[in-house]
């Protein structure tokens, strides 16, 4: 029988004096290409994101809402906007209101405490709006919250652009609903009040000394015991070690040219903003088109903590205090969540501690609390929380 030569093997290739099988060459080529694939993958493959992308229908539905709110605000005879750093108002014997905007995907655990908060308030001084995830089994509480759930609520996911959309939806609904809504306070189901309604209202609407940052530029003018100029209480952080990772979470150049890194900001998604700034938020398209992009780095993607401070710091930095009125404890944070207070920790001393602020006379709200904190909080509500 004749001897078979390896050179006749159809699965072999001879390169110089060395013989290679085609299988070996294929594996070797794949190994060499791995670094190239690693570098090009973000440009070739779509990013993995656990959230369902915002659908074109939802996007269009929101745009219709925002355009309607903007048009109604422009035609309003009550509020007049001037091209300055602050919101200016003309008064026609109407009382200014605070819009309380609750963003939730669970039951409103502290509804009874908030019910007590609103109980002593003049009903002409506030409005309530609740955005509840329609895919969550949220029970509508009785009382002041019962009919305040907005109809156009949509699904939300943590650490995703859906939370930005939900907040913008709340702002637009409140603008449409009442032209006297002057301040817009964004809260969650884990937030509690730290003072009475009267204290909160007076601090925002009429106090000349509540905001320490205002004293740096001189006293605020007032008319009929109501401030003429208002600032938004939104946290704006420009120096933070995680900012770069958050910035490149969608890709190194994904935010350019609209948002260069030096303009990228961070801050709490829970804030109190003026009507002027609420309109800026719902009118925006340019920055929203950047922040709604999905992230490649899920662990660094918290668009709701960057969109609002970046937008307002770029458009009106002097109109913002750069701090929030919602106290949060980041000691012992886990997976991006702040410290959660337990029922055993609730006491008058804790409330007094949570009120302390270096930027204003006091924090007005606080988070985050376990649902079983309701009972001990109700016990000290009248004698501690609502005693200013």
Residue 337 is predicted with a pLDDT of: 84
Residue 11 is predicted with a pLDDT of: 54
Written as tens digits, the pLDDT of the chain (388 aa) is: 444 444 454 555 555 555 556 665 566 666 666 555 444 444 444 444 444 578 899 999 999 999 999 999 988 755 444 333 334 444 444 789 999 999 999 999 999 999 999 998 999 999 999 999 999 999 999 999 999 999 999 999 988 999 999 999 999 999 999 999 999 999 999 999 999 999 999 999 999 999 998 755 444 555 444 455 799 999 999 998 889 999 999 999 999 999 999 999 999 999 999 999 999 999 999 999 999 998 887 778 899 999 999 999 999 999 999 999 999 998 877 777 899 999 999 999 999 999 999 999 999 999 999 999 999 999 999 999 999 8
| Residue 282: burial class (beta carbons within 10 Å; 0-12, 13-18, 19+) | buried
pTM reported for the whole predicted model: 0.83
Domains within the chain, CATH numbers bracketed? 56-75+95-208+230-324 (3.90.550)
- The 3-state secondary structure of the chain reads CCCCCHHHCCCEEEECCEEEEHHHHHHHHHHHHHHHHHHHHHHHCCCCCCCCCCCHHHHHHHHHHHHHHHHHHHHCCCCCCCCCCCECCCCCCCCCEEEEEEEECCCCCCHHHHHHHHHCCCHHHEEEEEEECCCCCCCCCCHHHCCCECCCCCCCCCCCHHHHHHHHHHHHHHHHHCCCEEEEEEEECCCEECCCHHHHHHHHHCCCCCEHHHHHHCCCCEECCEECCECEEEECECCCCCHHHHHHHHCCCCCCCCCCHHHCCECCCCCEEEHHHHHHHHHCCCCHHHHCCCCCCHHHCCHHHCHHHHHHHHHCHHHEEECCCEECCCCCCECCECCCECHHHCCHHHHHHHHCCCCECCCCEECCECHHHHHHHHHCHHHHHCCC
Residue 26 is predicted with a pLDDT of: 62
Residue 159 is predicted with a pLDDT of: 86
């Amino acid at each position: 029988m004749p001897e078979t030569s390896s050179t006749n093997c159809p699965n072999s290739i001879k390169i110089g004096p060395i013989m290679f099988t085609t299988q070996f060459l294929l594996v070797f080529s794949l190994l060499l290409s791995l670094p190239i694939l690693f570098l090009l993958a973000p440009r070739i493959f779509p990013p993995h994101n656990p959230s369902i992308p915002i659908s074109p229908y939802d996007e269009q539905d929101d745009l219709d809402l925002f355009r309607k709110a903007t048009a109604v605000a422009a035609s309003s005879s009550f509020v007049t906007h001037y091209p300055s750093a602050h919101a200016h108002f003309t008064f026609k014997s109407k009382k200014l209101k605070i819009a309380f905007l609750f963003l939730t995907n669970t039951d409103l655990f502290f509804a009874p405490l908030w019910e007590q908060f609103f109980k002593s308030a003049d009903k002409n001084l506030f409005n309530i709006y609740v955005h509840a995830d329609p895919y969550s089994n949220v029970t509508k509480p009785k009382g002041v919250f019962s009919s305040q759930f907005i109809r156009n609520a949509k699904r939300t996911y943590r650490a995703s652009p859906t939370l930005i959309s939900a907040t913008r939806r709340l702002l637009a609904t409140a603008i449409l609903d009442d032209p006297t809504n002057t301040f817009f306070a964004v809260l969650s189901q884990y937030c509690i009040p730290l003072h009475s309604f009267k204290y909160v209202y007076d601090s925002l609407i009429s106090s000349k000394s509540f905001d320490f940052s205002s004293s740096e530029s001189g006293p605020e003018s007032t008319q009929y015991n109501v401030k003429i100029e208002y600032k938004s209480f939104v946290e704006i952080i420009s120096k933070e070690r995680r900012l770069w990772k958050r910035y490149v979470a969608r890709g190194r150049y994904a935010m350019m040219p609209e948002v260069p890194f030096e303009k990228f900001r961070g801050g709490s998604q829970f804030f109190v903003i003026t009507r002027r700034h609420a309109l800026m938020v719902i009118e925006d398209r340019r920055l929203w088109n950047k922040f709604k992009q999905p992230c490649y780095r899920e662990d660094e993607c918290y668009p709701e903590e960057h969109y609002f401070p970046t937008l307002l710091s770029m458009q009106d930095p002097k109109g913002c205090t750069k701090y929030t009125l919602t106290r949060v404890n980041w000691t012992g944070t886990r997976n991006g969540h702040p410290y959660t207070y337990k029922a055993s920790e609730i006491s008058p001393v804790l409330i007094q501690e949570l009120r302390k602020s270096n930027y204003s006379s006091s924090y007005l709200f606080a988070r985050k609390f376990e649902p079983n904190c309701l009972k001990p909080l109700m016990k000290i509500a009248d004698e501690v929380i609502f005693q200013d």
